[in-house]
Structure formats: structure tokens, C-alpha cells
């Protein structure tokens, strides 16, 4: 090696050692022997005071947002050894092993977080401790969600579906639009919080419109894009919406985008017969039907419905777009006889003055979560969107009781979804900055009390300050998806390998007076 090259290598090595020593020194433990207690709350981000956390959650690293020359924290509970961390930087990272051990030993107990701040005079101060509670019940280990940039419609920015291990900070890619001809990756859904039966919708100018159906280790391409989907508890029937959902832009508003449900209906895919099923009661020409959600016993299908206020040849956007308000409906279903009842109104928009959307039933059958906003079917675009909880065990003789949840902010809350044990609710919110949606987790106790939420933890607690992506369509699952993204993309890119083809179904099928399913019914075709 030339002499000059050796000198450069030696200098680079020296600088690397110096950088490592500085980093080590900045994070080495500094003993807090004496401190002064101050009677005020400590300013940390995220703020964990009063929250309920899953006993299997990743370490809740945080940033101390106070002036100081050094920082330390002591995390303790009634059982086990406390955790002590310190740093010259205001970001404190908690050792994963010690954290999980402490939480496992204290299920159902309290967690005390004491923060110590060294001021410019060398004095340590300790504000009031942050107290949170550890739930008894775990949250499902994996969370699958979509991430996208705000300008994805007009700028070639990636859209992807990702899986996060909630016990850690590991995030893996399920499917990327880059592997699918820049396809828009739409809704993904799982049967009973399991990944061995799942659906993913795709729309690509290069490879067309399709839905990928995963059954165990097999992947099939269906030549119809499913909309918002809910799996029957049996896993044999998937209810989904068929929509014409164009987007438009307002001339002047804080939220410039809007989405209109120009035309919609509900349809069903039977995995046994591999056929598309329509029901006349749920495919009316004069109504908009959307957001299906099966009850836990599979004997009721909840959905949203609104009168269609325009004709097919109306101008776009129709002037009545902000007058559409969806009712909460349900219809009975006998899975043994494959017989449907008649729709009934559960909650009318004329009573609430709001539009109802994004329905999800808890797996234990007790609760129905939903959103309400001023109009339309897509609450994410509206600041007024809030999440509500309805008691499904209310008396049939009285109106179903429902309430607005306490965690709602002045910004949009949307996309609520349940854990398999019905103890955890995950939702999207713009509460942090009013612009980007982030995922939040909150505990729902057996009595239906919803506790203060936490934002999806990140290894770096300042992560969200520089993150320019939206998180939505979150789904809790017990196992990660077993089929690789490469294989999903390969099946989507090869239409010649289509193993399942669905008939095109219009929104007005032939009425069957028996109430049984109509199949391959003719009618006006809805655009995907």
C-alpha cells in the first residue's frame, strides 16, 4: 500500500475510534447520588403518564424535552429489578431484555418512570414521576399497515404494506408498489386476525386491477378488485364493497383532497365455490352501500348505507356531495341455509346529523367501533372525524347505546381495528401535527372503558418529527404474513397465471323473492 494511502487509512481509523469514544461517553451511566424533588410534571415525548400499555410492547423510549447537561431515568415496579439508564443527550433508550422482564413480572401492576435532569449548576432535579399501568392482556404481536407519502397520487413516491413486530422495532415489507408496476396498494384484510387467509387489492396501469387471495401457502389472482372487506368468522365468505371512488381537490381548504362514493354496492366472495355472490337488499340502484363488518357470530352483517342523490350522468363532482350522510345498518344472515333477512337501521344519520363509516366489530361480540364525520364515507380527510363505540349487547327494545371516545382530538381520527382478544384498539390519528396520520394503541377493558392511548413506539422517539409518511389501514395479526412480497408481486404481474376469475356484477342484481343469494346477476357495471 502506498504511504499516503496508509496514512489516510490510519487517520480514518483514528477518527472512527474517537467518534465511538464520544458516543460511548455521551451514553455512559452517570450516578445520581443526590437530587432535588420539584413538584411539577416532567416534559417527555411521548407522554406516557396515565396510559395503559401492553405487557409485551417494545421499550417505550422517550425524549426529555427540558434543558439540562445530563439525563437519567429509573423505571421500576413492585416486582423485579428496576431499570436505570442515563445519557448526556435527552433521548433515553431502554434495554429491551430488562424491559420485557420487568413488564412480564408486573402484569396488571403499575410502572413508575422517574426522570432526573442535571442543570447547568451541576444539580440533579427530579420532577414528579410518570405513572402508567401494565395491562394483563397482551396485544397481538404483529401489526400490518400501509405507509404512503401525501403526494403519492402525483409524485412517484412509494406505497407499501409493512409488518411491524410490536415486541421489537423490526419492520418488514409485505408488498411494495415498486414490485407491482407502481400499483396502488389498496385495502388488505385478514380472516380472524390470522394471515393464512388474506386479501390484498391492487390497481396498476401496467398490470390491471386485481385482488390477491392468500390461502395458506397458495396465492391466487382474482380479476376483480375488492373494496373494503370483512371476513365471515367461518373464513369461507368475504363481504366487500364495489365502489366508484374518484378523488377531487377543493379550491381552498385546510384539507384539499376529498373522495366521493359515486356508486357502490356490497358483494360476497365464497372461497368454497369460488364464486361472486350478490344480494338484492345490498345492491340497490338508489342506495350507496359500503363498509361491511360481520358480527362475531357471523349472523349479522353491519354496513353503511345512504341514498344516492345524483344520476349517473350528473356533473362531477356532484353538487350534493357534502349532503350525503350514511346510516348504520345491519342485516341478518343464516350461514347454514344461506338466507338473508331484510336490512334494519341501527343508527340513523337523521338522528346524529353525522355520516357513519369504517365499521369494525370486536371479536368478543360486545362492541362495534365506527367513525362519524360531517358528510360522506371517507372520514380521514375531515378534521371533524371521531371514533365511537357502540354496545352491541344493548336491549333490542331500546336504541343501541354508543358514545364518543375520550381520546378523540380536534384532528381526524379514523381506521379503528381490534385485537384478537378484543382488549386493544388500534387507530389512525392526525393529533400529533394535524397533517400526517400516525398509529395509536389503546386499551379497552372488559367493561368497555377506553384508556389513554400511546403512539406506535419507535426506537428513536423523535422519529415522527421527520417522517413524511401516513400510516393507515392497520390490522393486528397473531403471525406475520407467510407469503413473501416477491411471490405476491409475481402472481400479480402474470395475468396468464390467473386461477380464479370472477364474473362482472352490476349494482342492481335480479331480485330473488326468497332472499337467497343471486349469482352473476346482470346490471350496470361499476368502475373500480
Over residues 422-433, the pLDDT tens digits come to 999 999 999 998
Domain boundary among 115, 134, 153: 134
Q: What is the mean pLDDT of residues 36-51?
A: 95
Domain boundary among 109, 134, 159: 134
Residue with cell 397458495: 218
Residue 447 lies in a domain: yes
Over residues 102-135, the pLDDT tens digits come to 999 999 999 999 999 999 999 999 999 999 999 9
User: 191: Cβ–Cβ under 8 A, 6 or more apart, which residues?
Assistant: 197, 198, 231, 235, 238
Residue 460 lies in a domain: yes
Check: CB of residue 140 under 8 Å from CB of residue 476: yes
HSE-CB of 266 using CA atoms within 13 angstroms = 28
Domain boundary among 74, 107, 134: 134
pLDDT at 17: 45
- Quote the CA–CA distance of 365 and 361 in Å, as a whole number: 7
CATH code for the domain in which residue 112 is found: 2.60.40.10
Name the pLDDT band for 206 (thresholds 50, 70, 90): confident
Residues 245 and 307 in one domain: yes
Residue 63 lies in a domain: yes
Task: Please determine, for residue 86, whether its predicted confidence score (pLDDT) is greater than 70.
Answer: yes
Residues 101 and 203 in one domain: no
Give Cα separations from 113 to 86, 131, 133, 332, 383 (angstroms).
Answer: 13, 6, 11, 50, 34
How much is the pTM?
0.87
Q: Cα 110 vs. chain centroid, distance in angstroms? A: 27
Task: Please determine, for residue 140, whether its predicted confidence score (pLDDT) is greater than 60.
Answer: yes
Residues 239 and 198 in one domain: yes
Name the pLDDT band for 186 (thresholds 50, 70, 90): confident
Task: Count the domains in the chain.
Answer: 2
Residue 356 lies in a domain: yes
Residues 103 and 159 in one domain: no
Nearest one of 213, 242, 241 to 229, comparing CA atoms? 241
Task: Please determine, for residue 195, whether its predicted confidence score (pLDDT) is greater than 90.
Answer: yes
Check: CB of residue 125 under 8 Å from CB of residue 38: yes
Residues 174 and 294 in one domain: yes
Residues 283 and 313 in one domain: yes
pLDDT at 382: 87
Task: Please determine, for residue 521, whether its predicted confidence score (pLDDT) is greater than 50.
Answer: no
Name the pLDDT band for 501 (thresholds 50, 70, 90): low
Higher local confidence (pLDDT), 255 or 321: 321
Residues 358 and 470 in one domain: yes
Over its C-alpha atoms, the chain yields an Rg (Å, rounded) of: 26
Residue 260 lies in a domain: yes
Residues 219 and 351 in one domain: yes
Average pLDDT over the chain, rounded to an integer: 86
Nearest one of 440, 446, 464, 455 to 387, comparing CA atoms? 440
The whole domain housing 229 covers: 142-519
Residues 218 and 254 in one domain: yes
- Quote the CA–CA distance of 58 and 168 in Å, as a whole number: 5
Residue 467 lies in a domain: yes
pLDDT at 511: 32
CATH code for the domain in which residue 408 is found: 2.120.10.30
Residue 528 lies in a domain: no
Residue 22 lies in a domain: no
Q: Is 211 helix (H, G, I), strand (E, B) or coil?
A: strand
Residues 263 and 203 in one domain: yes
Residues 91 and 161 in one domain: no
Over residues 224-262, the pLDDT tens digits come to 889 899 999 999 999 999 888 666 555 544 446 677 888
Percentage of the chain surpassing pLDDT 90?
67
Residues 421 and 356 in one domain: yes
Amino acid at each position: 500500500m502506498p504511504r499516503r494511502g496508509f496514512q489516510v487509512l490510519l487517520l480514518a481509523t483514528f477518527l472512527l475510534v474517537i467518534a465511538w469514544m464520544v458516543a460511548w461517553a455521551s451514553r455512559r451511566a452517570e450516578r445520581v447520588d443526590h437530587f432535588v424533588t420539584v413538584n411539577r410534571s416532567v416534559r417527555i415525548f411521548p407522554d406516557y403518564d396515565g396510559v395503559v400499555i401492553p405487557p409485551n410492547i417494545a421499550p417505550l423510549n422517550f425524549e426529555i424535552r427540558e434543558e439540562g447537561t445530563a439525563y437519567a431515568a429509573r423505571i421500576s415496579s413492585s416486582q423485579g429489578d428496576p431499570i436505570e439508564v442515563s445519557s448526556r443527550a435527552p433521548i433515553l433508550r431502554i434495554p429491551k431484555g430488562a424491559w420485557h422482564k420487568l413488564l412480564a413480572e408486573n402484569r396488571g401492576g403499575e410502572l413508575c418512570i422517574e426522570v432526573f435532569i442535571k442543570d447547568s449548576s451541576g444539580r440533579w432535579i427530579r420532577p414528579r414521576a410518570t405513572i402508567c399501568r401494565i395491562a394483563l392482556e397482551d396485544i397481538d404481536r404483529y401489526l400490518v399497515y400501509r405507509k404512503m407519502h401525501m403526494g403519492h397520487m402525483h409524485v412517484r413516491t412509494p406505497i407499501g404494506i409493512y409488518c411491524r413486530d410490536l415486541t421489537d422495532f423490526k419492520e418488514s415489507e409485505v408488498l411494495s408498489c415498486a414490485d407491482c408496476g407502481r400499483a396502488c396498494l389498496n385495502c388488505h384484510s385478514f380472516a380472524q386476525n390470522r394471515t393464512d387467509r388474506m386479501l390484498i387489492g391492487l390497481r396498476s396501469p401496467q398490470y390491471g386491477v386485481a385482488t390477491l387471495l392468500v390461502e395458506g401457502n397458495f396465492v391466487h389472482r382474482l380479476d376483480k378488485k375488492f373494496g373494503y372487506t370483512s371476513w365471515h368468522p367461518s373464513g369461507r365468505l368475504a363481504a366487500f364493497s364495489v365502489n366508484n371512488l374518484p378523488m377531487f381537490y377543493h379550491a381552498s381548504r385546510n384539507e384539499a383532497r376529498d373522495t366521493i362514493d359515486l356508486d357502490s354496492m356490497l358483494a360476497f366472495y365464497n372461497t368454497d365455490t369460488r364464486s361472486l355472490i350478490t344480494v338484492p337488499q345490498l345492491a340497490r340502484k338508489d342506495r350507496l352501500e359500503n363498509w361491511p363488518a360481520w358480527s362475531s357470530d357471523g349472523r349479522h352483517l353491519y354496513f353503511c348505507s345512504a341514498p344516492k342523490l345524483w344520476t349517473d350522468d350528473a356533473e362531477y363532482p356532484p353538487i350534493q356531495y357534502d349532503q350525503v350522510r350514511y346510516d348504520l345498518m345491519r342485516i341478518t344472515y343464516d350461514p347454514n341455509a344461506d338466507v338473508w333477512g331484510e336490512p334494519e337501521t341501527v343508527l340513523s344519520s337523521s338522528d346524529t346529523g353525522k355520516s357513519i363509516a369504517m365499521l369494525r366489530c370486536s371479536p368478543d361480540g360486545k362492541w362495534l367501533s365506527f367513525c362519524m364525520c360531517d358528510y360522506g364515507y371517507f372520514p380521514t380527510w375531515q378534521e371533524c372525524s371521531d371514533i365511537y363505540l357502540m354496545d352491541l349487547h344493548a336491549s333490542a327494545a331500546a336504541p343501541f347505546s354508543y358514545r364518543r371516545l375520550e381520546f378523540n382530538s380536534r384532528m381526524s381520527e379514523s381506521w379503528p381495528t381490534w385485537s384478537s382478544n378484543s382488549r386493544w384498539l388500534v387507530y389512525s390519528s392526525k393529533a400529533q401535527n394535524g397533517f400526517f396520520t400516525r398509529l395509536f394503541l389503546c386499551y379497552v377493558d372488559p367493561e368497555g372503558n377506553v384508556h389513554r392511548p400511546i403512539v406506535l413506539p419507535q426506537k428513536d422517539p423523535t422519529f415522527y418529527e421527520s417522517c413524511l409518511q401516513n400510516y393507515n389501514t392497520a390490522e393486528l395479526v397473531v403471525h406475520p404474513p407467510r407469503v413473501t412480497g416477491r411471490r405476491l408481486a409475481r402472481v400479480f404481474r402474470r395475468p396468464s397465471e390467473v386461477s380464479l376469475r370472477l364474473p362482472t356484477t352490476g349494482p342492481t342484481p335480479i331480485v330473488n323473492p326468497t332472499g337467497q343469494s343471486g349469482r352473476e346477476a346482470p346490471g350496470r357495471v361499476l368502475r373500480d
